[in-house]
Amino acid sequence: MLAGKRVLLIISGGIAAYKSLELIRRLKERGVRVRCILTPGGAEFVTPLSVAALSGEKVYRDLFSLTDEAEMGHIQLSRDADLLVVAPASADILARMAGGLANDLATTALLATNRPVLVAPAMNVRMWTHPATQRNLKQLKADGILVVGPDEGDMACGEYGPGRMAEPAAIIAAIERHFAAGAGADRPLRKLRALVTSGPTHEAIDPVRYIANRSSGKQGHALAAALASLGAETVLISGPTALADPEGVKTVHIESAEEMLAAAEAELPVDIAVCAAAVSDWRPAKPAGQKIKKAGGAAPSLALAENPDILARLSRPGKRRPKLVVGFAAETENLLAHARAKLASKQCDWIVANDVGPKTGTFGGDHNKVSLVSAAGVEDWPALTKAEVAARLAQRIAAQLTETPKAATKQKPKGKAR
Ligand code: CTP
């Protein structure tokens, strides 16, 4: 049930930090994306390298790091997660959280977040039972902070009593309880299957050359992750990209349009299909079995054959048609006219139209400005990151599929409709 979730783990100073490495592993095994903030105190107990290696992500350490801010601002870091977990949570960080301080990256993220927070306190027994810590804990609980542990037992400092950090298994159980409690609202697409195509296709000319395009796959991969995070059992059919497979998503790697179609059809039936791939419209009609040599003659001409249209095939009326089929229209001119024409010719339900002209930076970039085109009209969305477009589209899909059919047909597009 944790697959596709995103956890921001804050590791503060304490000997129990070694257990956080185990926690990262256990979360990753469950398909959770784990980003970590390591406080200076935490870094005295575990190395940034171990945290990075286990999480497979960059480790964030410094509030004033220009590199970190350029990659992901601290506000976004605090919100680009479904849950913040502080483990171990030292007496000091609990005190600063209770007081609303924001004097380093960890406490700034905790104060700036709009996400739930779970703390796993770990400290010496006297520090734990001290009235100041108990006062802070009361305040944190009143603020809605979730708490797991601490356990009672022998402590690393030689004393006995409460203060030992909860075991990783218990922290995971607390995380699962949290998500299970919010499952209805948080995972509206659970029980539904989603298929996403992403990236370019490569069409072989000969064993070493191919026809391709500039698609990075960023938008399609972000969509697969967003659908999975809303609970959909998600399959991503990906052309060749430089991106990692999204957590919690079954990823099938293919090269050509024909392979993409076969892989997509093998996954049917699905409830949702989103075709974000930039499929090559043509392929060399007869790829050469051996590398084509120059051989001193004229340049060879390339006879092309048309590729199958995966979006149109998936949209074909019939028993296996997904309930909702969404296509993209990558255009360099007359965006909306082309998008409307594609909606009709491919028989899909929605088209996400985006301008991919060279000046927009959409291909390969991290931002996208799209319009959602459907029978109900056109909605222009503001310029957003590709992750935000993905999250918004996934929410719209969830709203469409979880509303009663009657209400859905009456639904008016939000935003500027034309
Ligand atoms: N598409 C597809 N299979 C193809 C071609 C396109 O599934 N062989 C899908 C894309 O994934 C996208 C939509 O169709 O969702 C539109 O793709 P686009 O490249 O914008 O349009 P084309 O159909 O290729 O038409 P054109 O190149 O003439 O604009």
Q: Is 70 helix (H, G, I), strand (E, B) or coil?
A: helix
Half-sphere exposure of 412 (CA within 13 A, CB side): 5
Q: Is 257 in the pocket of ligand 1 (CB under 6 A)?
A: yes
Q: Is the CB of 352 under 6 A from ligand 1?
A: no
Contacts 24+ apart (CB under 8 A), 141-144: 143/98, 144/116
Is ligand 1 within 6 A of the CB of residue 309? Answer: yes
Q: Counting every residue, how long is the chain?
A: 418
User: Which two tokens mark 411?
Assistant: 């639904």
Each residue's pLDDT expressed in tens, for the chain with a length of 418 residues: 788 899 999 999 999 999 999 999 999 999 999 999 999 999 999 999 999 999 999 999 987 777 777 777 788 888 889 999 999 999 999 999 999 999 999 999 999 998 999 999 999 999 999 999 999 999 999 898 999 999 888 877 788 888 999 999 999 989 988 887 766 666 889 889 999 999 999 999 999 999 999 999 999 999 999 999 888 999 999 999 999 888 778 999 999 999 999 999 999 999 999 999 999 999 999 999 999 998 777 888 999 999 999 999 999 999 999 999 999 998 888 999 999 999 999 999 999 999 887 777 777 778 888 999 999 999 999 888 898 899 999 999 999 998 655 444 444 444 444 4
Please work out whether the CB of residue 194 comes within 6 Å of at least one atom of ligand 1: no
> Ligand 1, closest atom to CA 329?
20
Q: 311 with 339: CB under 8 angstroms?
A: no
261 φ/ψ angles, rounded to the nearest 5 degrees: -65, -45
Sign of CA dihedral 245, 246, 248, 252: negative
Q: What single-letter DSSP state applies at residue 43?
A: G
Q: How far is the CA of 382 from the centre of ligand 1 (A)?
A: 23
Task: Report d(CA 77, CA 380) in Å as an integer.
Answer: 27
Tell me the sheet residues that pair with 373: 351, 378
Q: How many CB atoms lie within 10 A of CB 67?
A: 8
Nearest to 106 by CA among 154, 40, 163: 40
Give me the phi and psi of 317, to 5 degrees please: -60, 145
Give the mutation target among 221, 238, 261, 309 for probing the ligand 1 site: most ligand atoms within 8 A of CB.
309
Q: Torsions phi, psi of 223, nearest 5? A: -65, -40
Query: How far does residue 312's CA lie from ligand 1's centre (Å)?
Result: 9
β-pairing verdict for 233-238 and 250-253: parallel
Measured CA to CA in angstroms, residue 278 lies from 21, 241, 257, 363, 374 at distances of 39, 12, 9, 10, 20
- Residue 157 a catalytic site member: yes
CB 43 within 8 A of CB 106: no
Report how far residue 352's alpha carbon sits from residue 339's, in angstroms, rounded to the nearest whole number: 8
Q: HSE, CB side, 13 Å, CA atoms: give it for residue 271.
A: 16
* pLDDT in the model for residue 139: 94
Q: Which residues pair with 60 in a beta bridge?
A: 37
CA of 400 to the centre of ligand 1 (A): 23
Distance 165 CA to ligand 1 centre (A): 53
Nearest to 3 by CA among 197, 273, 231: 231
Tokens of 379: 């909605």
Domains of the chain listed by start with CATH number: 6-181 (3.40.50.1950), 188-417 (3.40.50.10300)
> Which amino acid makes up residue 283?
R
